[in-house]
Chains A and B, each alone.
Chain A
Amino acid sequence: MGFNKKYIWLGLGAVIFLIYPLIFTLPFPRHVMIMIFLYATLGLAWNMIGGYAGQISLGHALFFGIGAYTSTLMLMKLGASPWVGMLVGGILSMGVSFIIGYPCFKLAGHYFAIATIAIGEIAQVWMLNWDWAGAAVGLTLPILPESLINLEFHSTKAPYYYIAFGLLILGLLATYGIDRSKLGYYFKAIKGDLEAARSLGINVTKYKFFALALSAFFTSICGSFYAQYVLFIDPDSVFPLMLSVIVCLVATLGGVGTIWGPVIGAFILIPISEFTRIYLGGGGKGTDLVLYGLLIIIISVYQPFGVIGIAKRFRKKESA
C-alpha cells in the first residue's frame, strides 16, 4: 500500500469514528463502540508485553483493577479529580509491574503465565477482604455534576465515546512508536530467541521491564476510565481472571505483535459479546458465555495466527 493511500484510509477512518456519535444517538450503539475502544486499547497494552516481547501474561486484570481502584479511592477519600487518579494509578501500576517483573522474568513460558494468574488471584482475594477499599461490596462512585474535570457524564455517552477514542489513539501511537523504534526490535528479539538477543548485547531483563511497565500503564488508565464510565467497581468486575483472558484473546484474534491486530480483534469480538449478552444474557443462564467459550475454542483452533495472519497468507499467495 502506498504512502499516501494509507494516510487517506486512516483519515477516512478517523472521520467516520468522529461523526459516529452524531449518527448513532441511542445509548446502545455508542456503548458498544466505547467497549470496542476500551478493549482495543487494553489489547494494545497487553500486546506490548504479550505480543511484542512474547511474555504471555494472564494477570493483566491486576493493572486494570489498580487503575480502577486508585482513581476511585482518590476521588472518594481525597476528592481528587479522576484524571489525577488515572495518572497516579498508572504510575502505581508501573511500580507494581517492577515488583512483579523482578522475580517473574526469571520464569519462562507456562511458569510465567501461571505466576501471573497466581498474582492476579492474590490481588483479587486481597481486595475482596480489604474493608477500607469496600471489600466484596465494591465501591459506588459519588454522582458529581457533569464535567470533563469530574469525568462524569450522565445525560449522554458522547463524551465517554470521545475520551475512549482518545485512549485508543494514544494506545495506537504508543504501539506505533514501539513498532518503529529500536525498542520494538529489542522486544521482538527477546520474543524470537532470548539467548540470541542476550548474546547480541541486549539487556533482556531491562527491556522486559520496559515492555511490562508500558503495558501496565496503559492497562491501568483503561481501568480508571472504566470506573468512571460504569460508576461502580468491585473486585469481581475489575480483577477477574476472565478479563485477563479476554484482553489476551482480543490481541490473539487480531494478530499478536502487530499494530492493528488488537484493534481488529476488538472490533470482531466485542460486538459479538455485547450482542449475545443483550439478547441471550440475563436470567442467570449464562447462554452468552456458553457461546463465548465456543467462540474462543473455534478462534484458537482455526485461526491461531489471528486475522492479520490470514490476510498475510492471502497476500503471499497472490504474490506467488
Chain B
Amino acid sequence: MYSSEIILQTILSGILMGCIYALVAVGLCLIWGLMEIVNFAHGEMLMLAMFTSFWGFTLFHFDPLLSLPFCMLLLFLVGVATYFIIIKKILKAPFLAQILATFGLGIFLRYLAQFMWSPDFRTIKNPILSGNLNVGGLFIGIPQLAASVICVATFIVLYLLINKTEIGAALLATSEDREAASLMGINSDKMFALGWGIGAACLGVAGALMSNFYYIFPEVGFSFSLIAYVAVALGGFGSIPGSFVAGIIIGLVEFLSGLLIAPAFKYAFVFLIYLLVVFIRPQGLWGRY
C-alpha cells in the first residue's frame, strides 16, 4: 500500500497545518468564551490578513515575515471596530440575529475583496521563507515549519496572557460573570473589545504566515471558517487548550484522509469526525457544558 515514509510525511504535514488551524480557531474560541457569540466572519478576517501581507509584498516589497506585526495590529483594529460597530449592538439580540449579523459581515468582506481585488488566485513569489528541509528523507516546507512554530509560540503567549496576567484575569472574570466583573470595576465593554481585538490579531499572525505558501483569493476564508468552527466545537466552545488539540486533530484527519481515501473528500472527513465527536460528547472534547 503506502510506504511508511509517505505516511510519516503526511502525518508531519498534517501536524504542521494543524498548528495553523489551532491559531485560527483560538481566536474564535476566545470570543465565544467571552460572550457566547460565534464569529461567522472569522475566515474572511483571515483572508484580509492574507491580502494585507500580499499587498505589502507586491506594492512595498515588504516580506510577509516583516509585515506580520503590521497584519497583527491591523487585524486587532478590525476586531475592535467589528465589536463597536456591530457586536455591541447585538449583545442582547436573539441568537439568530447574532449568527446572521456576523454571517452578513463575512459575506460583505468576501465580496468587497472580490470587488476591489478580483477573484484571482495570487501567490507571493520568493519570500524569505521558502524551500524545503530534508530531514532523514522527510521533506518539511520551511514556510510551513516556520508558520507552525510561530503559531505555537503565539498560542503559548496567548495562553500566558490569559492565565498569568491581570488583563487575562479580567478577561476570564468577564467571561465567568459579566455582572460580578463589572461590580469589581472591570469595564466589560473594554474587555469584549479587547477579546475581539486579540481574537482577530491571532488571525493577523496566521494570515501573514500562510500568505507565504497558500493561494490568496477572496474565498480563501470560507474553508478556514468552517474548519475553525469545527475545531472550536470539537475542542469545546470556550476551551483554549481544547481548540489547540482539535486543530491538530483536524490537520491530521485532513491530510491522512486526503492520502488514504481521496483528496476531494478531505473536508468531508473533517466534518464527519466533528459530527462523530459531538454525537458522543455533545459539549466537545474539553467543553465545560
Selecting from B59-67, B110-118, B185-193, the interface stretch reads: B110-118
> Bound state CA distance, A228 and B272, in angstroms?
32
B-contacting residues, A252-302, CB 8 Å: 252, 256, 284-287, 289-290, 292-297, 299-302
The answer to the question of A107 belonging to the interface, with a C-beta cut-off of 8 Å to chain B, is: yes
Establish whether residues B99 and A297, one from each chain, have CB atoms under 8 Å apart when the complex forms. no
The answer to the question of B103 belonging to the interface, with a C-beta cut-off of 8 Å to chain A, is: yes
Which residues on the B side are within 8 Å of A119 (C-beta)? 271, 275
The answer to the question of B220 belonging to the interface, with a C-beta cut-off of 8 Å to chain A, is: no
Which residues on the B side are within 8 Å of A129 (C-beta)? 262, 264-265
Establish whether residues A107 and B114, one from each chain, have CB atoms under 8 Å apart when the complex forms. no
Given contacts A56-B96, A111-B282, A301-B90, contact A125 B268 (CB under 8 A): yes
Establish whether residues A252 and B226, one from each chain, have CB atoms under 8 Å apart when the complex forms. no
The answer to the question of B121 belonging to the interface, with a C-beta cut-off of 8 Å to chain A, is: no
Establish whether residues A290 and B112, one from each chain, have CB atoms under 8 Å apart when the complex forms. yes
Which residues on the A side are within 8 Å of B230 (C-beta)? 114, 118
The residue from A118, A242, A249 contacting B274, defined by CB atoms under 8 A apart: A118
Establish whether residues B108 and A290, one from each chain, have CB atoms under 8 Å apart when the complex forms. yes
The answer to the question of A128 belonging to the interface, with a C-beta cut-off of 8 Å to chain B, is: yes
**When each residue 211-232 of chain B gets 1 if its CB lies under 8 Å from chain A and 0 otherwise, what string results?**
0000000000000001001100
Establish whether residues B271 and A300, one from each chain, have CB atoms under 8 Å apart when the complex forms. no
Which residues on the A side are within 8 Å of B272 (C-beta)? 122
The answer to the question of A2 belonging to the interface, with a C-beta cut-off of 8 Å to chain B, is: no
A-contacting residues, B214-253, CB 8 Å: 226, 229-230, 233, 237
Which residues on the B side are within 8 Å of A108 (C-beta)? 282
Main secondary structure of the interface of A (DSSP, over half): helix
The residue of chain B having its C-beta at the shortest distance from the C-beta of A135 within the complex is B264
> Bound state CA distance, A242 and B222, in angstroms?
11
The residue of chain B having its C-beta at the shortest distance from the C-beta of A110 within the complex is B38
Establish whether residues B96 and A248, one from each chain, have CB atoms under 8 Å apart when the complex forms. yes
Establish whether residues A113 and B97, one from each chain, have CB atoms under 8 Å apart when the complex forms. no
Which residues on the B side are within 8 Å of A125 (C-beta)? 264-265, 267-268
Establish whether residues A245 and B226, one from each chain, have CB atoms under 8 Å apart when the complex forms. no
The answer to the question of A44 belonging to the interface, with a C-beta cut-off of 8 Å to chain B, is: no
> Bound state CA distance, A102 and B101, in angstroms?
29
Establish whether residues A106 and B279, one from each chain, have CB atoms under 8 Å apart when the complex forms. yes
Establish whether residues A300 and B279, one from each chain, have CB atoms under 8 Å apart when the complex forms. no
> Bound state CA distance, A103 and B275, in angstroms?
9
> Bound state CA distance, A27 and B283, in angstroms?
51
The residue of chain A having its C-beta at the shortest distance from the C-beta of B103 within the complex is A245
> Bound state CA distance, A242 and B108, in angstroms?
13
**When each residue 33-60 of chain A gets 1 if its CB lies under 8 Å from chain B and 0 otherwise, what string results?**
0000000000000000010000010100
The answer to the question of B107 belonging to the interface, with a C-beta cut-off of 8 Å to chain A, is: yes
**When each residue 51-73 of chain A gets 1 if its CB lies under 8 Å from chain B and 0 otherwise, what string results?**
00000101000000000000000
Establish whether residues B103 and A296, one from each chain, have CB atoms under 8 Å apart when the complex forms. yes
Establish whether residues A110 and B237, one from each chain, have CB atoms under 8 Å apart when the complex forms. yes
Question: What's the minimum C-beta distance from A76 to chain B, rounded to whole angstroms?
Answer: 23
Chain B interfacial positions (CB closer than 8 Å to A): 32, 38, 86, 89-90, 93-101, 103-112, 114-115, 118-119, 226, 229-230, 233, 237, 262, 264-265, 267-268, 271-272, 274-275, 278-279, 282-284
25 A-B residue pairings within 8 Å (CB atoms): A106-B279, A109-B95, A110-B32, A111-B278, A111-B284, A114-B229, A114-B230, A118-B230, A119-B275, A121-B271, A126-B268, A252-B97, A286-B111, A287-B111, A287-B115, A290-B111, A290-B115, A293-B109, A293-B110, A296-B100, A296-B104, A297-B86, A300-B93, A301-B90, A304-B97
Top 7 closest pairs, chain A to chain B, by CB: A296-B104, A293-B108, A293-B107, A304-B97, A304-B93, A118-B271, A289-B111
Chain A interfacial positions (CB closer than 8 Å to B): 50, 56, 58, 103, 106-111, 113-115, 117-119, 121-122, 125-126, 128-129, 242, 245, 248-249, 252, 256, 284-287, 289-290, 292-297, 299-302, 304-305
Taking A122-B268, A285-B114, A292-B107 as given, write out 9 further A-B residue pairs in contact, using a Cβ cutoff of 8 Å, ordered by the A residue number. Answer: A111-B233, A245-B103, A286-B119, A293-B108, A293-B110, A296-B100, A299-B104, A300-B90, A300-B101
